[in-house]
């Protein structure tokens, strides 16, 4: 592993008396794919919300390329380079596929309201460039045919992919994917995983993946972190995790209970 892109230390959050996440550690290297698994309610999505600034942690630190990130708002997190997708799809349903992707370029675009209204040279230059980049990105995801369709009309699998494309478009260094394969059939899942691998190689991006499909997690992740009740119970390669008695216990229950 080269130097880490994302580094999380002692991260924790308490909702009143309930400690949803406690003492969470994580280091992700450049273009590494790490899986985050755990039983329902273990705190996986809470960790995502902490990493993206939706929740503010009550303790601990997050570093992106060595820069402290705690205290930033979600849109500032995105500008810094952390992008995410959602467990339940959150697309801009009435906007076209192309517009969905172009929204993510907004924070890198510079033309002012006035040049938007007067349609100055900057407007045309930046809009055309944004559109070209968005189409390139859709091509990578094999979605260019859908570009001028309204997002709500896409098939389910394509909607998932569009969410990833949109997150990628922010120019993120690390992508947090919250159950990207949920509700997909095996063929769609394979296609999705191929797409994620392509992205990693092409954009040199790191991925943190929450997923319930174990065969999938085991086959693509380089490293897996398992949490239960807000604590890390195991970290290691897929093989180590699959044979870890604590993990098996967390998922299936132990004899002495």
Binding positions for another protein, rule: CB under 8 A: 52, 54, 73-75, 78-79, 83-84, 86, 90-96, 98-99, 102-107, 109, 111, 113, 116-119, 123-124, 126-128, 130-131, 144, 147-148, 166-167, 169-170
Nearest approach, Cβ of residue 23 and another protein (Å):
26
Distances, alpha carbon 215 to alpha carbons 35, 161, 189, in Å: 12, 20, 11
Nearest approach, Cβ of residue 178 and another protein (Å):
11
**Continuous H helices in 65-224:** 74-80, 97-103, 113-118, 121-140, 156-169, 186-203, 214-220
Strand order in the sheet with 18-29: 18-29, 4-15, 59-64, 67-68
| 3 state SS of 24 | strand
Nearest approach, Cβ of residue 251 and another protein (Å):
30
Q: Based on CB atoms, which residue is closest to another protein, 84 or 173? A: 84
Between CA 6 and CA 29 the distance in angstroms is: 7
Nearest approach, Cβ of residue 98 and another protein (Å):
6
| 3 state SS of 1 | coil
Q: Based on CB atoms, which residue is closest to another protein, 20 or 138? A: 138
Q: Based on CB atoms, which residue is closest to another protein, 76 or 219? A: 76
Q: Based on CB atoms, which residue is closest to another protein, 51 or 247? A: 51
């Amino acid at each position: 592993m080269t130097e880490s892109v994302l580094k999380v230390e002692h991260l924790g959050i308490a909702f009143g008396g309930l400690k949803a996440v406690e003492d969470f550690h994580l280091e992700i290297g450049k273009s590494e794919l790490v899986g985050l698994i755990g039983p329902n309610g273990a705190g996986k999505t809470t960790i995502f919300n902490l990493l993206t600034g939706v929740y503010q942690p009550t303790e601990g630190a997050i570093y992106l390329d060595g820069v402290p990130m705690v205290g930033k708002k979600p849109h500032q997190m995105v500008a810094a380079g952390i992008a995410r997708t959602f467990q339940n799809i959150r697309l801009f349903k009435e906007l076209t596929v192309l517009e969905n992707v172009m929204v993510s370029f907004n924070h890198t675009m510079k033309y002012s309201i006035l040049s938007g209204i007067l349609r100055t040279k900057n407007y045309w230059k930046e809009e055309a460039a944004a559109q070209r980049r968005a189409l390139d990105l859709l091509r990578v995801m094999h979605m260019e045919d859908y570009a001028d369709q309204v997002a709500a009309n896409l098939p389910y699998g394509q909607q998932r992919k569009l969410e990833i494309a949109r997150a990628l478009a922010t120019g993120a260094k690390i992508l947090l994917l919250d159950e990207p394969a949920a509700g997909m059939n095996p063929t769609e899942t394979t296609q999705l995983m191929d797409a994620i691998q392509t992205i990693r190689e092409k954009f040199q991006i790191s991925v943190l993946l929450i997923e319930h499909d174990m065969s999938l997690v085991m086959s693509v992740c380089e490293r897996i972190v398992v949490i239960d009740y807000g604590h890390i119970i195991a970290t290691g390669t897929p093989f180590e995790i699959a044979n870890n008695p604590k993990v098996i216990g967390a998922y299936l229950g132990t004899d002495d209970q």
